[in-house]
């Protein structure tokens, strides 16, 4: 058995077409959804991510503002820029690209963004809304994973789901979203004693630790759905995920590739969140 691919590029195109149509409808009412992206420093990966986010805005008809600052930017200056964007009625979403230079406090920066414009879904309030089942912005990567499961019409009710990774941006919100769909969820991490014993029971596995081959074929139950959130490089320098893709695909029922899987969905859900923020201003 060879797993069916869940094509993040194809699904993203479908969702972005819907976003573009809704943007056009909003523009007819005099509202152009706007996303502001702040990039501090010159991290190469961050520059690529930011460029892709700005391009996605342009492709869907949104307005984008990119503010670039040197790595020596003061925290006071950054917080002042965020406050100005909070008060800008033409901006519906604010994203501060992580990681930040070490002298800047990421928690303080994230909490400075207005909850109404927290389209990354990173704030304490957004996390609390997810935890308690209230409507709010969902963290984009796990939100994209849920859309991928939805695209294959996968019913999570009663299924065993394992999330490998406990980050605030992926692992924890991923677990909450799966739980909301009535899956039985286990979060595994560096302190988990027998990861293989956990994953072999899983109907759905989400690998999100940033470590190559953390999930191998002998750890996967035949027919399981495997979502690979990792972004790493192999020995030849090629992009790869956390999953041993070539071998796991011979066991799994569905699998996401890297690249072309979860990555495009993350940016797409950022567009969705920004659009929904703008729609609330109608």
Residues annotated as catalytic (active site), given as ranges = 53, 97, 120
Residue 35: DSSP 8-state? E
Q: Which residues contact 137 (CB under 8 A, 6 or more apart)?
A: 118, 119, 120, 121, 126, 129, 273, 276, 277
90 vs 60: CA distance, rounded Å = 16
Whether 249 and 255 have beta carbons less than 8 Å apart is answered as: yes
Which tokens is 95 given?
A: 């994203």
- CA dihedral 173→178→179→181, nearest 10 degrees, is 130
Whether 18 and 268 have beta carbons less than 8 Å apart is answered as: no
């Amino acid at each position: 058995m060879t797993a069916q691919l869940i094509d993040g590029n194809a699904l993203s195109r479908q969702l972005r077409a819907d976003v573009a149509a809704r943007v056009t409808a909003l523009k007819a009412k005099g509202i152009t959804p706007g996303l502001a992206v702040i990039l501090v420093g010159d991290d190469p990966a961050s520059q690529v991510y930011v460029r892709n986010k700005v391009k996605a805005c342009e492709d869907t008809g949104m307005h984008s503002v990119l503010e670039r600052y040197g790595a020596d930017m003061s925290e006071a200056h950054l917080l002042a820029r965020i406050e100005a964007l909070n008060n800008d009625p033409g901006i519906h979403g604010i994203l501060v690209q992580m990681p930040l230079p070490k002298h800047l406090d990421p928690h303080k920066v994230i909490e400075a963004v207005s909850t109404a414009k927290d389209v990354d879904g990173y704030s304490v309030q957004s996390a609390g809304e997810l935890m308690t089942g209230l409507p709010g912005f969902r963290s984009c990567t796990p939100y994209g994973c849920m859309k991928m499961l939805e695209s294959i019409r996968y019913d999570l009710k009663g299924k065993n789901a394992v999330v490998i990774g406990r980050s605030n941006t992926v692992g924890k919100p991923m677990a909450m979203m799966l739980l909301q769909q009535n899956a039985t969820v286990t979060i595994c991490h560096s302190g988990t004693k027998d990861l293989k014993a956990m994953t072999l029971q899983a109907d759905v596995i989400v690998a999100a630790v940033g470590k190559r081959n953390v999930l191998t074929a002998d750890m996967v139950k035949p027919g399981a759905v495997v979502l690979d959130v990792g972004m790493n490089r192999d020995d030849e320098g090629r992009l790869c995920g956390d999953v041993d893709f070539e071998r796991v695909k011979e066991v799994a029922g569905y699998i996401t590739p890297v690249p072309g899987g979860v990555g495009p969905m993350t940016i797409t859900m950022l567009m969705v969140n920004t659009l929904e923020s703008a729609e609330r201003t109608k």
